[in-house]
Amino acid sequence: MKIFSNHSGKECYKKPSTYTDAVFYLITWFLLCRVLMINISEEMSTEDVEEIKFLFGNTLSREKVKKSKSFLDVIVELEKLDLVSPERVDIVGKCLLDIGRVDLVKKVNCYKMSAGPSAEPLAQRQSCQAAEIKQSQPAHIARVNMVVPVHKEAACGSPMERYNLNTNPRGVCVIIDCVGNGGEMLEQTFKALHFNVSLYLFLTSDLILLSLREILRPTENHIGDAFVCCIISRGSTHRLLGTDEYGGGFAIDCIRNLFTGDACPMLAGKPKLFFIQRYNVVESNLNYVAESVEVDGFNRQPASGSIPKEADIFWSHCWTDERQLLQRKHHSVYLKALTDALHDAQRRKLNLVDVQMRVNGAIFEHNRRNPGAAYSIDVKHTLRKNLYLD
């Protein structure tokens, strides 16, 4: 059986013309599929495997799910049901999307493209700009909305360029803790990551915006190669309150809009990271007037050949019920998972997207064990390169 290259330069397997070729073709295809599944299994954390097992809870028997200790074990059981085979891997790509492992979906796509031109890669379903992946999951799974950019990769497996973080300090990190819980933990974490950290406690909504506007007033030499903003506050679906007891606070999107490429040219082309922990209040209790604010800039089209003003943003917004603040010794599961994952990433040289996947896994596990105290999360990013904080 011969191998040829298609018009894109990728190797494809020629369809067999004899019985011997057919046997060799099937064996080769099977081995390629098995190698793919083994590679995916090796890159999965325990939390990832638990999410996969949950997704197939209605497909596999409880006994089979319990016995499965790895992703590969789950795949073997699905193969027995003829749901997964060398020519049938769409279900694998879908479940990986459902748990937010977009990096592993790329491996499935590469396999499908090498298997033959008829396979439609999942990645090709994304638009030329950031494509929004909306996942519908059971209530206790960390619900994730993720905007994922289409990276400039010449071919499957080509390494992405990485952001340069060469300044010392690496950049500015602003932490605003309006509930008195989690701010110091974040401060220690980002200092260890070599950021110039400013911690603000118990600010009103007006002071939050004022502080964010003032923080970047110094000369460009003090900005560094990255910007981080962490806010811990009460709020509603689209608004943050700070310490305000009355009024409507401000729109959450205002935070991001302050640091887009056009609003803050000194940060253009540099990664801008936002981590928001919101404690949800009843929205009917809020009283506010609609503002003229640009919302969700991730969806707008950039000019041809230019860097979109919303580029290089990583947005991680988690929320849970404000009643959790009344619990003794409360700490945010999200912030604890985030700081742990960042410390681990520094040691193991993981990129920021991998950090977020670990956070998602920790939230999933917490929600599974504590369905009455669940967290939800909204993750979006328009990063054009890999970001390492090691």
Which of the following CATH numbers is that of domain 171-381: 3.40.50.1460, 3.40.50.10190, 3.30.413.10, 3.30.365.10?
Answer: 3.40.50.1460
pLDDT for 28: 63
| Run means of pLDDT, 10 residues per run, the chain, 390 residues | 41 49 59 84 89 86 88 90 87 88 88 56 35 37 48 45 93 96 97 96 96 75 87 95 92 93 90 97 62 40 57 95 92 97 92 90 90 91 92
pLDDT for 127: 34
In angstroms, the CA 355 to CA 128 distance is 25
Q: What is the pTM of this model?
A: 0.62
The domains of the chain are located at 3-125, 171-381
CATH, domain range 3-125? 1.10.533.10
60 in helix, strand or coil? coil
Closest of 151, 199, 196 to residue 387, by C-alpha: 151
Distances from the Cα of 330 to the Cαs of 161, 181, 370, in angstroms? 40, 8, 14
Same fold, 3-125 and 171-381: no
- Please tell me the chain's helix, strand, coil percentages from 3-state DSSP, rounded to the nearest 5: 40, 20, 40
pLDDT for 26: 59
pLDDT for 170: 95
Closest of 383, 379, 382, 348 to residue 43, by C-alpha: 348
β-pairing, 196-201 vs 171-177, is parallel
